[in-house]
Structure 1
């Protein structure tokens, strides 16, 4: 055991420092995301989801740092990563909409001007009733739950919320639509 500690002293110190930095960054990031969520009055479930995403990203960086600290041959790592990314790339290409919805969910967390309980209109000509008022019931990782005036639950993908114009229902009046109250 003593031989191992003496032989890999620098790597062990580097690992300890890397793990300490990882834990500090995770703590600071969690506090910052919770503060943004509280200031923006964002649902706690959404806040925890974003914290989880950031922890996964930090963990990936920590793994890469540990691989570099322990001096794994870059050629071997390149071969392994290229194989892994080829498989993941094919899988993600098939699931591109899921990835874009997760990314849109993170963007909506930090910049979406509407909250749960707001009434909105989605300006989408392809929708059944393009000027209908919806009540935002929940904002999830992949989609938003909207309630129609007739009580029907409607899910709308997060990436579409970024692509289509969305307005608060109280911000304008449509003389042809009497659906302001849900």
Structure 2
């Protein structure tokens, strides 16, 4: 180290004139500026993510090399090599220490470049798969990024001869304490990773979890945010989400709805079914395929009950409400037009024979409370 710095004093002996030294300093600054400008120009025209990363790596090395070279020239020209050597000696920076310092800087610089390169590689490998969402790509990249930084820190500590055994023991104890103190949070975080990779729902899906129903507006590591149809935002911890039954109404892009309708017992069922089918055939909100189904379900208390089953695409709460409303209005109008009656609940009252004798007015008197 000292020999290298001493060699720079040759420049001060060769160029003793101050104007010459100023000119050399300005020239060194100009070279660094020109190199930086050229690299910046190259970075504006990346062909792809990998090419951009290679350009960044090469450009960073060139800029760093030119900056180190220019600094050495300026120190030598102005005869400050001995001053720098004395300062390094006072700081106990020998050749080995300086080498470790350079290796550490190079390690972290290489890690940054590697992480950028890895992002492009992950995007290139997984973006073509329909089963991999943008959110999963981002999560994969972040996990890889964190792992790379942790590995770089451990290697750097090894370069500086730091005892990692005590550090790892301390980290283990700290992890156990944090695990007990933040058990619920950690459970939500692990559940968040499970949700992100199992993908039971995505942002924009219409879901129902327990007694909460709405549109998924955000999915984080810790929680899932749902916007209800009342305009409220409900934040559900991911551990609760994973423990509940999830009903995703928009996963397949279509939803089947059911509308019950009853007809009088005296009604011709085939005719009633035909009237219902004609009523809903022209409704635009209903999908033609699969075709709507009209099924007789049961004998009701006052009616024979049908169930109209139909599908809608691009399901949402608004479309569900509009489709049901259109079906009910169309069936009601068709029944009125075709004189098909929809019965209301009825009760028949009868008494035992001879309870009130032969007096026809007895029931009315009994109802009025007469003895």
- Scaled to the shorter chain, the TM-score interval is 0.5 to 0.7
- 1:55 aligned to which of 129, 139, 145: 145
Alignment match, 2:114 = 25
- 1:100 aligned to which of 187, 201, 206: 187
Name stretches of at least 5 consecutive residues in structure 1 with no aligned partner: none
Query: The residue matched to 1:146 in structure 2 has which SS?
Result: strand
CA 1:42 to 1:80, structure 2 compared with 1: closer, same or farther past 3 Å? Answer: closer
Please say which structure displays the higher CA radius of gyration.
Answer: 2
Distance in 2 (CA, whole Å) between partners of 1:103 and 1:22 is 27
Q: Deviation per CA, 1:142-167, whole angstroms, max 9, x where unpaired?
A: 11111233333221122333444434
Alignment match, 1:121 = 208
Query: The residue matched to 1:141 in structure 2 has which SS?
Result: coil
Query: The residue matched to 2:234 in structure 1 has which SS?
Result: strand
The equivalences for 1:32-181 within 5 A come to 40-42=133-135, 47=138, 54-73=144-163, 77-122=164-209, 127=210, 129=211, 133-170=213-250, 173=256, 181=317
Distance in 2 (CA, whole Å) between partners of 1:169 and 1:150 is 18
Query: The residue matched to 1:154 in structure 2 has which SS?
Result: strand
Higher relative contact order (CA 8 A, sep 6+): 1
Alignment match, 2:104 = 15
Structure 1 runs (4+) deviating above 4 angstroms are 32-39, 49-54, 171-176
Q: Cα RMSD over matched residues?
A: 3.8
Query: The residue matched to 2:317 in structure 1 has which SS?
Result: coil
CA 1:22 to 1:32, structure 2 compared with 1: closer, same or farther past 3 Å? Answer: same
Distance in 1 (CA, whole Å) between partners of 2:166 and 2:239 is 34
Distance in 1 (CA, whole Å) between partners of 2:227 and 2:249 is 13
Name stretches of at least 5 consecutive residues in structure 2 with no aligned partner: 3-88, 260-315, 319-371
